[in-house]
Amino acid sequence: MIRRKNGRVNWAEPSSRSRRRHSVRSSRRTLEPRRRKNRRRIKSRVATPLIVPRSETAEPGAALPAKSRITLKVNGAEKQLEVAPWTTLLDALREQLGLTGTKKGCDHGQCGACTVLVNGKRINSCLALAIMKDGAEITTIEGLADGDMLHALQKAFIEHDAFQCGYCTPGQICSALGLIKEGKVKTSDDIRELMSGNICRCGAYPNIVAAIEEAMRAEHGTERHE
Ligand code: FES
Ligand code: FES
């Protein structure tokens, strides 16, 4: 910067005020185009939402998709149901068949409270559409006991005090049954790892692991359901 002093030209350091003005101007020069570009990008995203509400896509007065008739073999008994395309297996079991032993926790596949066996494999029933399981064999917690005789896993859970509120317990037991059928468990760490999809908010984990180990030792419980 040039300053005139006593009629002489003098090179001097720019004042802090002019330095500030200069840096604001230059940052505006570099930031403005970037800001404009970002604004354009955001606008284009807002203009094309990923999920379009059904009310905007459906013809006015269009009928909802029809319900479908399906057959499920639940705990050994054949059941005919009418389900909407979006009905989950969990809702079909709880609301249509009255099997409320299977619990709804998160309804998002995060907690395992809704675990049931489908054709012998454990799944989160909140993530499965009932219509996709047409003809499948389903085992829920209600199907484990043989009359008054509890399943080995149910007995072990009681003996080891493996629950507190009990909300997660049906899912824990069904999951443990699926785990035992998978035959991958060698150590108690394997049990912890392979049961990690079943959350217990009461923190009864040590007792749950002990109960599963006990049920694995009493093999008659697993043989009965193979
Ligand atoms: S309710 Fe299905 S995983 Fe939580
Ligand atoms: S016993 Fe309460 S959540 Fe598991």
- Shared-domain flag, residues 154 and 139: no
Q: Is residue 150 part of a domain?
A: yes
**The pLDDT of residue 31:** 67
Residue 20: pLDDT band (50, 70, 90) is low
Cβ neighbours, 10 Å, residue 96: 15
Mean pLDDT rounded to a whole number for the chain: 85
Residue 225: pLDDT band (50, 70, 90) is very low
**Which residue would you say has higher pLDDT here, 226 or 176?**
176
With a pLDDT cut of 70, the percent of the chain lying above it is 74
Q: Quick one: CA dihedral 132, 75, 114, 210, positive or negative?
A: negative
Structure tokens at 37: 């570009």
**The pLDDT of residue 63:** 76
**The pLDDT of residue 37:** 73
Q: Give strand pairing partners of 122.
A: 117
- Shared-domain flag, residues 182 and 216: yes
Looking at the predicted structure, is the pLDDT value of residue 21 above 80?
A: no
Terminal C-alpha separation, the chain: 90
Ligand 1 geometric centre to CA of 47 (Å): 34
Give the model confidence (pLDDT) of 129-149 as tens digits: 999 999 999 999 999 999 999
Looking at the predicted structure, is the pLDDT value of residue 39 above 90?
A: no
For atom 4 of ligand 2, the residue with the nearest CA is 200
- As a whole number, mean pLDDT of residues 180-203 equals 97
**Which residue would you say has higher pLDDT here, 6 or 223?**
6
Q: Is residue 154 part of a domain?
A: yes
Q: Taking each helix axis from N to C terminus, what angle separates 152-159 and 205-217, rounded to the nearest 10 degrees?
A: 140
Cβ neighbours, 10 Å, residue 127: 14
Pocket test of ligand 1: the residue of 100, 122, 124 to mutate, having most ligand atoms within 8 Å of its CB, is 124
- As a whole number, mean pLDDT of residues 18-36 equals 64
What is the number of the ligand closest to the CA of 93? 1
- Find out whether the beta carbon of 112 lies less than 6 Å from any atom of ligand 1: yes
Looking at the predicted structure, is the pLDDT value of residue 226 above 50?
A: no
- Find out whether the beta carbon of 211 lies less than 6 Å from any atom of ligand 2: no
Number of independent structural domains in the chain: 2
**Which residue would you say has higher pLDDT here, 114 or 45?**
114
Domain limit, last residue, from 143, 158, 185: 143
- Shared-domain flag, residues 197 and 150: yes
Domain that holds residue 205: 144-226
Q: Is residue 117 part of a domain?
A: yes
Burial of residue 36 (number of CB atoms within 10 Å: 0-12, 13-18, 19+) = exposed
Residue 46: pLDDT band (50, 70, 90) is low
Ligand 1 geometric centre to CA of 151 (Å): 23
The answer to whether 125 and 114 have CB atoms below 8 angstroms apart is yes
Pocket test of ligand 1: the residue of 94, 103, 114 to mutate, having most ligand atoms within 8 Å of its CB, is 114
Q: Is residue 28 part of a domain?
A: no
- Find out whether the beta carbon of 199 lies less than 6 Å from any atom of ligand 1: no
What is the number of the ligand closest to the CA of 90? 1
